[in-house]
Structure formats: C-alpha cells, structure tokens
C-alpha cells in the first residue's frame, strides 16, 4: 500500500478557513454585544419535536434516536412518540412556571400528524424552527440535489402553511448538511441555521453559488439532554450542575467580553420523562433566579445581535 | 513489497518500576508537570486515507467539523487565560498548517513563551503507509514552518492523529528531535532505541487527556477535575522515590467549553500550589533529563536487561 501523491498536497493551506462558508474570527476579538435591558446572557431554550418513521431509510446513517431493532421497531417508535404526547406537555408546564419562551425545532411531519402541537405552540407564542421533513430524511454530502430541494421545500412550506409563522430558522435533522443545504434553505427564505456549533455567538455563513448570506446560531450540542444524559450517561443532578456551570462561566466572561448566548437543547422523550422533568424544573428555577438573564427565541436573539 | 507485520517494534527495553536511579527535578521537585494543548486543524474536505476515514459522516461533516473549530474560535482563549492565571506555559501539540490558518493564535502563544512541537500538518492526514520520503516531508515541513513562524526549532513529536510507521522514531532521532509523545509505557522519560542518535519517550497521557476523558470515559467535568487531582497525588507520592512526569493533554474544543472550565481550573490550582512541583514544558524536561539522567538510566536499563535486579 502506498500513499498517493495528492495526499501530500494541501491546496487549502492558507490564511483563515479551508473553505469559503465562513470567515475565520476569534470570538474574543469581536465587538462587545449588549442585550436588551443590559442582560449579560441571552437564554435560548430549544425543544425538538421529531418524527422517527418505522421505515426510516437509515441512509447514509441513522439519526440519533432512530429505529434500532428489525422492522417493525414499535418499542423505539412509541418511546419517541411519547415525547410528542406526554413529554412536551411536561416541559411546557415547567417553562410556563418560569414564564420562559422557547424555540421549537420541528419536523414538518410532526406538524402534519399532530396539528394540536402547532396550535399550542402558536398559543404559547413560541417560534418554530424548520427541522426538515422527518428524522429519517437526512441531508448529506452526495445526495441527489433535486431530492434535497424537495425536502427543504416540503419542510419549510408545510410548517409555514400550518403555523402561519414566517419560519426563519433551520435545523437539519441530525445536524447533517450536504454541500448545498445552505443554498437551498437560503433560497427557501431561511435566515439562520443551527447546524454549525463552532461558536458561542452568531456568525455569518455564505451559501454556495451566490445564493447569499445567512447566520449560524449557536445551538448547543453540549448543553443538551441528549448529549449529557443519553450519550454521556450522566445523571440528572449532573445535568443540572452542568447547566449551572455553563451559565456561571458565560456570565463571568460576559463582564469582560460582552453579552453571551446560552443555549439549552431539550428533547421531550428524554427530558420530559416522569422521573426526569423535575430536574429540568430545578435547572430552570435556578436560572430564573439569576441576574442578567434575557430569555428569548432564536429570531429575537439574532435580531438583537444584528442591531449591534 | 509490503514487509511483514511485527509483533513488537522493540522501541524500548523492559524496565521495572522500582529501584531505578533516582531522578530529582530542578529545585528538588518530585513531579515535573507540563500541559499540552493540542492546537489542531481538521479539514472540512480532506483526501481519504485507505486505512482511516477522517469523518464519520459523508463530507461535509458540518457537525463534527464545527465542533473541532470551536476550539480555535472560542475555546483556546478560555484555556489560555486559565493557564496564564496559574503560570503554566503550554507545550503545544501543533497541527502545523494552523500556522497559516490562524496566526493570531500562534502569536499569543509565542508572546507567552509557550513551546511548540509537531502534531503533523493536519489532524486529518494520517501517516500510515507513508514512504520514507513522505514521512521525511512532514517532518521537514514541521521543522521549517515552525522555525519560520516562531523562531523555535521544534524538539518534540506527537504523530498526527497518533498514526505512525515502523521508521517514525528513527527518523525523529535523525532530525535531532529530543522527545516523542507517542509512547505510553511509563510515567518517567526513558531512552527510545533508535538506529542513530538519541531520542526519549516523554510521558504524555491517554488517560487524563480531555478527549479520552470526555469522549471515551464520558466523564462529567467535575469527575475530570478529580481524576487530574488523583493522578497528581499518586505521582507526587511516587516522586519521592524518583521524580515522575505528569502531563495534561488538552484540546480547546473539549476542555474549552464554559461548563468545563471551572473543574479544570480547580485542578490546575491544586497542582501548581503544591511545593515540589516543577511547572515546565516538555523540552525543558527532555533537556534536563538528557543532561542529568539519560546516561545513568540507559546504563541501568542495560544492566537490568533480561530480568536482572
């Protein structure tokens, strides 16, 4: 076995990034951000409402939470669906208790299957973020371009039609994109995407083929129930502790470097369980008692950021 | 033709961890303590190596790519500020291409008199199956590029993504590297058997390495802090017999998240405020060891070869 000559060549070895999607920029060198009411931390809570189909294609990989056993995997199908029926109500009750608004990242299939949830989200005044069609319909490098355009349009059009909301945010199922996802979502009128976890603050993205600019919002893959409780297998007290430590860290550095965003990403079938939801209550109660917190949805945070 | 695989590259001799010549670090210290921030660049669309896929998902793996980039954009600064607070100079395991991509980070490290060593050109280029000229090329590139950008002649090596060939250690010695971080057989430096010249293995860590702790052991930040302190306590105790080396390898994309900084800071505070700890860099450890202990240790290893006491 030999190593090809091209393997020793570095065509993108240059100043800045090795692509043209976003510019290199050190967070500490940026202008200080001031949030409304001089808040130090903008708290952005997002909840995922997902549909995992029994006949998921599982191509080119399975989204986290996807079906596990041979067809029909009723055990995982219903476990996930529990979140859309029971879990989300528990999470909303906790949010209501502390009068916290949120963003809801939603597969368009969920809106079609459960119109009740869309109605309820609108009553709560929460923002809907388009999260593709369902958790089996991924966006990925090498996928057929027409298929991707159809998936983006189905998701965005359906959610706009059923909710009446403008739907300006996008979160790709499994945070997976193709080389063209940014172009297609930009063409569909999306302002910000949640897939790029390179920063604690928004940064500008350039969609390919001159489609224009959009924003990456710092939707956390770390401060998330899936990461902490499912992937890392930490217990509920440790989930609360990491939320507190995250806030304390961001709050402290905001004094020197300006306003920060704290994102908490929730999954109803994970955090909305009977034995778990009280720890969400504990965490949000603690956050509600901190000074300098501005609870807002993704669009509000981005608009405030853009005015700086 | 591909040569047959070997059961052991015979890079060092067996050397029992007792009755070794006593090492005393400068100032009578029992533990030589160093911190190794890996400042890495992972490419969005690297060429594919037949032996290892750079990203788990089809390119572009925006999820993991941006997770790595977080370290450079955001996490590095947090890590550096905490190290400043406790007077710890980093010994940087550098993806050499980062000199080109992010010179602002390099400048901050140079200003702080941190040490640089090579971790390959990119952490998405693997050394497996490179021919000799190719492996020489990444070493020469590393030496020349770091020299040009920082004025430092690099002394150490941690193979890119820990990928090696059978000849890696011989080449390192030939290019006058002092130490390799690629071998994990011991908590003290020791000679590496190379064809020509001299090379030592420098204790690095795949145990209290933040990536292993967070991504393999799935530890909480506070448990990581406790693991660091527990390891230190053990090496501090054993260091009374003969000086030990403790390294904390870091990656700003892991340790540099807000919820992880407090536990790390507490651990740094614990170690750097103890008497008898030499807070230093890998090159300084290697130079001191070579000057004072290499020959004694090499002689002891030779004398005890084959199970002698």
Specify the pLDDT at position B1: 44
- Please tell me the predicted confidence (pLDDT) of residue B140: 98
ipTM > 0.90?
Answer: yes
* CB-based contact A269:A79 (threshold 8 Å): yes
Selected for mutation to probe chain B from A16, A21, A27 (highest B CB count within 10 Å) is: A27
**B70 contact residues in A (CB cutoff 8 A):** 197-199
| Entry field: residues in chain B | 309
Q: Which of A3, A238, A241 sits opposite B134 (nearest CB)?
A: A3
Q: How far is CA B175 from CA A15, A194, B99, B204, in A?
A: 28, 46, 21, 21
Q: How far is CA B210 from CA B89, B202, B251, in A?
A: 18, 18, 7
Report which of B11, B21, B16, B23 is spatially closest to residue B235, judged by C-alpha positions: B23
Put simply, the answer to whether B262 touches A10 (Cβ < 8 Å) is: no
What is the pLDDT confidence band of residue B299, given thresholds at 50, 70 and 90? very high
**Chain B partners of A223 at a C-beta cutoff of 8 Å?**
259
DSSP classification of residue B62: H
CA–CA distances in Å: residue B199 to residues B8, B179, B185: 18, 6, 15
Label the pairing between strands B156-157 and B91-94.
Answer: unpaired
**What integer pLDDT is reported at residue A2 of this predicted model?**
85
| Phi and psi, residue B183, nearest 5° | -115, 135
| pLDDT exceeds 70 at position B307 | no
Confirm if A204 and A22 have CB atoms less than 8 A apart: yes
Q: Is A231 on the interface with B (CB under 8 A)?
A: yes
* Most B-contacting residue of A1, A3, A199, A232 (CB-CB within 10 A), to test interface: A3
B250 token code pair: 């870091």
What token pair was written down for A79? 């476990």
- Is B251 in contact with B93 (CB distance < 8 Å)? no
Distance from first CA to last CA of chain B, Å, rounded?
Answer: 43
B47 CA: distance to closest CA in chain A (Å): 6
Q: Do residues A290 and A246 lie in contact, with contact meaning Cβ atoms separated by under 8 Å?
A: no
Please report residues of A whose CB lies closer than 8 A to that of B100. Answer: 13-15
The pLDDT score that the predictor gives to residue B305 is 83
B18 neighbors B266 (Cβ within 8 angstroms): no
Per-residue pLDDT at B165: 95
DSSP B250-276: EEHHHHTSHHHHHHHHHHHHHHHTSTT
For residue B78, which residues of chain A lie inside 8 Å, CB to CB?
A: 249, 253
**B250 touches B58 (CB < 8 A):** no
Which of B3, B62, B139 is best to mutate for the A interface (most A CBs within 10 A)? B62
pLDDT in tens, A57-108: 999 999 999 999 999 999 999 999 999 999 999 999 999 999 999 999 999 9
Cβ–Cβ gap B259/A198 under 8 Å: no
Closest CA to B43 of A204, A174, A17, A22: A17
pLDDT tens, B210-238? 999 999 999 999 999 999 999 999 999 99
What are the residue ranges in chain A where pLDDT is below 50? none
């Amino acid at each position: 076995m030999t190593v090809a000559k091209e393997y020793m060549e570095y065509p993108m070895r240059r100043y800045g990034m090795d692509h043209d999607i976003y510019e290199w920029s050190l967070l500490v060198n940026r202008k200080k951000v001031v949030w409304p009411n001089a808040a130090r931390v903008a708290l952005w809570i997002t909840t995922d409402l997902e549909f995992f189909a029994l006949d998921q294609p599982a191509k080119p990989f399975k989204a986290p939470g996807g079906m596990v056993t041979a067809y029909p995997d009723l055990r995982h199908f219903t476990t996930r669906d529990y979140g859309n029926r029971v879990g989300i109500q528990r999470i909303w009750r906790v949010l209501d208790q502390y009068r916290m608004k949120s963003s809801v990242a939603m597969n368009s299939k969920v809106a079609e299957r459960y119109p009740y949830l869309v109605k309820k989200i609108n009553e709560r005044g929460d923002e809907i973020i388009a999260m593709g069609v369902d958790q089996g319909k991924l966006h990925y490098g090498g996928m057929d371009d027409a298929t991707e355009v159809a998936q983006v349009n189905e998701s965005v059009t359906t959610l706009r039609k059923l909710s009446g909301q403008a739907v300006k945010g996008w979160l790709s199922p499994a945070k997976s994109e193709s080389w063209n996802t940014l172009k297609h979502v930009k063409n569909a009128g999306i302002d910000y995407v949640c897939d790029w976890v390179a920063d604690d603050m928004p940064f500008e993205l350039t969609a390919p083929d001159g489609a224009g600019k959009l924003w990456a919002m710092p939707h956390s893959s770390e401060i998330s129930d899936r990461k902490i409780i499912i992937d890392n297998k930490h217990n509920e007290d440790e989930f609360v502790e990491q939320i507190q430590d995250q806030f304390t860290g961001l709050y402290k550095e905001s004094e020197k470097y300006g306003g920060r965003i704290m994102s908490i990403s929730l999954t109803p079938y994970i955090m909305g369980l009977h034995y778990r939801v009280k720890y969400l209550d504990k965490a949000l109660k603690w956050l509600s008692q901190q000074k300098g917190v501005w609870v807002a949805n993704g669009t509000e945070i981005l608009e405030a950021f853009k005015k700086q | 033709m591909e040569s047959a695989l070997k059961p052991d590259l015979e890079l060092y001799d067996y050397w029992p961890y007792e009755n070794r010549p006593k090492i005393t670090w400068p100032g009578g210290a029992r533990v030589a303590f160093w911190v190794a921030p890996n400042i890495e660049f992972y490419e969005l669309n690297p060429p594919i190596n037949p032996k290892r896929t750079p990203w788990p998902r089809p390119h572009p793996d925006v999820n993991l790519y941006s997770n790595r980039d977080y370290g450079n954009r955001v996490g590095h600064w947090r890590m550096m500020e905490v190290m400043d607070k406790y007077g710890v100079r980093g010994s940087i395991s550098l993806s050499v291409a980062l000199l080109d991509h992010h010179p602002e980070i390099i400048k901050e490290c140079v200003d702080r008199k941190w040490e640089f060593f090579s971790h390959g050109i990119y952490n998405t280029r693997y050394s497996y199956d490179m021919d000799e000229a190719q492996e020489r090329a990444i070493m020469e590139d590393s030496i020349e590029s770091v020299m040009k950008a920082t004025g430092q002649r690099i002394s150490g090596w941690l193979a890119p993504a820990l990928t090696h060939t059978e000849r890696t250690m011989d080449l390192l010695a030939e290019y006058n590297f002092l130490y390799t971080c690629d071998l994990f057989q011991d908590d003290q430096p020791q000679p590496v058997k190379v064809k020509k010249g001299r090379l030592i293995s420098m204790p690095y860590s795949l145990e209290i390495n933040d990536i292993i702790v967070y991504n393999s052991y799935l530890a909480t930040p506070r448990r990581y802090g406790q693991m660091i302190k527990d390891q230190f306590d053990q090496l501090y105790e054993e260091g009374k017999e003969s000086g030990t080396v403790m390294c904390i390898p870091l990656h700003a994309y892991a340790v540099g998240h807000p919820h992880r900084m407090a536990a790390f800071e507490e651990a740094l505070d614990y170690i750097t405020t103890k008497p008898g700890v030499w807070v230093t860099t890998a090159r300084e450890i290697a130079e001191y060891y070579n000057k004072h202990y290499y020959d004694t240790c090499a002689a002891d290893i030779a004398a005890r070869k084959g199970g002698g006491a």
